[in-house]
Structure 1
Amino acid sequence: MATVRKVTFPSNGIPIVGDLYLPPSGAPDRKRSAIVVSHPWTGVKEQTAGLHAQHLASAGFVALAFDAAYQGESGGEPRLLENPFQRAEDARAAVTFLSTLADEVDPERVGALGICALGGYVPFAAQTDTRMKAVATVSGACVGRLTREGLLPKGGYPKEQFVAMLKSANALRVREARKEPQELLATLPDNPEDVPESAPDLFRDAAWYYRTDRARHPRAPNKYDARSADLLGNYDSYAFNDLISPRPLLMIAGTDADTLYFSEAAIEKAKEPKELFLVKGKRHVDLYDDLSETMPKLVDFFAKNIV
């Protein structure tokens, strides 16, 4: 089993708390290669990010899973704010932290993995952070587009709804300045049975993942600050994906995921070397904890590109 060490590092002055997974004795020698592993929107490091980090460490990589700013054990106010630019900065700060661990990490052998929304934020960060020598995503999505459009395979929502979200977020800035209570929105019903049958698979599957013993965690309250909307509204994860090249980009998605179109669009924006790896019959959330096909692919990708 990998050894896990609690660590703290700064990101824009905010203390970020992470779990550093170190390879067990007998693991393959990856020449002190390390991978930053970033968790989904409203998640925490103890869920799918930690699972991926544990498996990567068992395969010989140093792996860092961490709570984003405003989330989990990390600092930052207001709590549960979703700031895409801070999220990207957290990934860059994680690379900086790993690069200081001279006895355990080779700064020239650092890769990055983002899951779900971080499958958008991590490529965004990598576009201008050349220290990320290889970039991978699992079930990637752009939360900026989701905020503007909704989930398109199910029809999305009209621009008027987006504008109303922006106006509400703008008003909440004044409430925050007055020290009035936050407006926190639930991303999912607490009871998965309450998800409407007409809802996209993403929301139904996410409820069964986050709101049951499969992945429920006390520091992941299934909420976000409604003020986040005007931070997310003009954010685009993949617009400059061409800047990642010549570093390699791997995007993994399920063939049945209703978010697949994000990975397809992101790969289209990228230059070689790039790969869209599809897992047959899997949906978005399936890949959070079914690593049977994705982990061998990730290990092979990072072994070829950062070791």
Structure 2
Amino acid sequence: MQTVQFKNRDITIAGHLYLPQNLNGKAPAVVVVHPGGGVKEQTAGLYAKYLAENGFIALAYDASYQGESGGLPRFVEDPAVRVEDISAAIDFLVQQAQVDAERIGVLGICAGGGYAINATLFERRIKALATVSAVDINGLFRAGFGAEPVPALLGLMQNVAAQRNAEASGADELTIPYVPNSPEEFNEHTPEYAKEAHDYYRTPRAMHPNSPNKLLFKSVPKIFAFDAFSQVSDFLTQPALLIAGSKADTAYFSENVFKQIQGDNKELYWVDGATHVSLYDKDVARAVPKIAGFFTQNL
């Protein structure tokens, strides 16, 4: 594994580049996109490591404004920038002597899966797409706010507007958590994936100092304005593999995308008994052979 940097416009992106052992000549490469609030040292790095063991060059990186990457203010979740991060990662890969620029794929996990799907629609350098527990962050946030009716969500936007006014006048920037910080925050409306995410991100299981569970509050309108899947039926023509756990309460996102993809070069693969978050670590070894086989066939 090599520590690398590349640019998304004026932001320096921090990455880990995983290389196969005994690499001889050019090899196919995969960009690995982490979940919302995650960093490269967590599930994205784990998948990248396994991909390298299967003969692929794999790049995991921290999103703009997050982790070790640059960008101010911190903890922004801007879907448009997140999608552009993927193109910037490909810009980096095609400059590497070991990378076959005609054989580049993308693997996205959770919100990273939604970003990977959206990037693949128009980034034609992506030759194959794989996702794990993919979600559209817009839909996930709507569900996370209890599927509230639009008037309530408009009220949320008013709160963001008021906070922006306050910050423009000198108030401290407000952050909110991606996932519950403690089980005491669970209630009858807390979805299972959120409870699982607490156990993953906020306990020694996968806690990392660069992943502090902070989302800049004024990111929320950017998230609600984004639709990862809106043009899938028209523009997603590359081979696609969608992996979901049979017990994942977010699996409907993968089912939705699968139905929208035209043509036959697609697969929805179920990992029996797996949940949304178990595919971040506990069930990775069960998913990797399918992913490696898919990229071997399509890159």
In 1: Cα distance, 2:176 partner to 2:76 partner: 11
Report what 2:94 is aligned to.
Answer: 99
Task: Give 1:9's match in structure 2, choosing from 2, 6, 9.
Answer: 6
Q: Which amino acid aligns with 1:297?
A: K
Tell me, yes or no, if structure 1 residue 298 matches structure 2 residue 291: yes
Deviation, 1:270, is 1.3
Q: Which amino acid aligns with 1:286?
A: S
Whether the 8 Å contact between 2:180 and 2:194 is mirrored in structure 1 is no
Q: Which runs of 4+ in 1 moved over 6 A?
A: none
Tell me, yes or no, if structure 1 residue 22 matches structure 2 residue 19: yes
Whether the 8 Å contact between 1:30 and 1:60 is mirrored in structure 2 is no
Secondary structure class of the residue paired with 1:106:
strand
Q: Deviations over 1:163-208 (max 9, x none)?
A: 1221122233333433431110012333346533652110111111
Report what 1:130 is aligned to.
Answer: 124
Q: Which amino acid aligns with 1:293?
A: R
Tell me, yes or no, if structure 1 residue 114 matches structure 2 residue 108: yes
Q: In the superposition, relative to structure 1, how do residues 229 and 30 fare at CA in structure 2: closer, same or farther (>3 Å)?
A: farther
Deviation, 1:31, is 4.5
Tell me, yes or no, if structure 1 residue 219 matches structure 2 residue 210: yes
Task: Give 1:278's match in structure 2, choosing from 270, 275, 284.
Answer: 270
Q: Deviations over 1:214-268 (max 9, x none)?
A: 1000010011011011111121111111344431011110111111111111111
Q: Which amino acid aligns with 2:274?
A: K
Percent identity between matched residues is 43
Q: In the superposition, relative to structure 1, how do residues 231 and 186 fare at CA in structure 2: closer, same or farther (>3 Å)?
A: same
Deviation, 1:146, is 2.5
Q: Which amino acid aligns with 2:289?
A: P
Q: In the superposition, relative to structure 1, how do residues 30 and 285 fare at CA in structure 2: closer, same or farther (>3 Å)?
A: farther
Whether the 8 Å contact between 2:26 and 2:98 is mirrored in structure 1 is no
Secondary structure class of the residue paired with 2:284:
coil
Report what 2:186 is aligned to.
Answer: 195
Tell me, yes or no, if structure 1 residue 254 matches structure 2 residue 245: yes
Whether the 8 Å contact between 2:5 and 2:13 is mirrored in structure 1 is yes
Secondary structure class of the residue paired with 1:157:
coil
Secondary structure class of the residue paired with 1:108:
strand
Report what 2:57 is aligned to.
Answer: 62
Deviation, 1:158, is 2.2
In 1: Cα distance, 2:250 partner to 2:25 partner: 33
Q: In the superposition, relative to structure 1, how do residues 243 and 109 fare at CA in structure 2: closer, same or farther (>3 Å)?
A: farther
Deviation, 1:104, is 1.0
Bigger mean CA deviation after superposition, 235-244 or 129-138: 235-244
Gaps of 5+ in 1: none
Q: Deviations over 1:135-176 (max 9, x none)?
A: 1100000111223x3259xx6222233112211222333334
Q: Deviations over 1:75-100 (max 9, x none)?
A: 11111011000000001110111011
Q: In the superposition, relative to structure 1, how do residues 179 and 134 fare at CA in structure 2: closer, same or farther (>3 Å)?
A: farther
Secondary structure class of the residue paired with 1:77:
coil
Whether the 8 Å contact between 1:128 and 1:243 is mirrored in structure 2 is no
Please give the TM-score of this superposition, normalised by the length of structure 1: 0.92
Tell me, yes or no, if structure 1 residue 74 matches structure 2 residue 69: yes
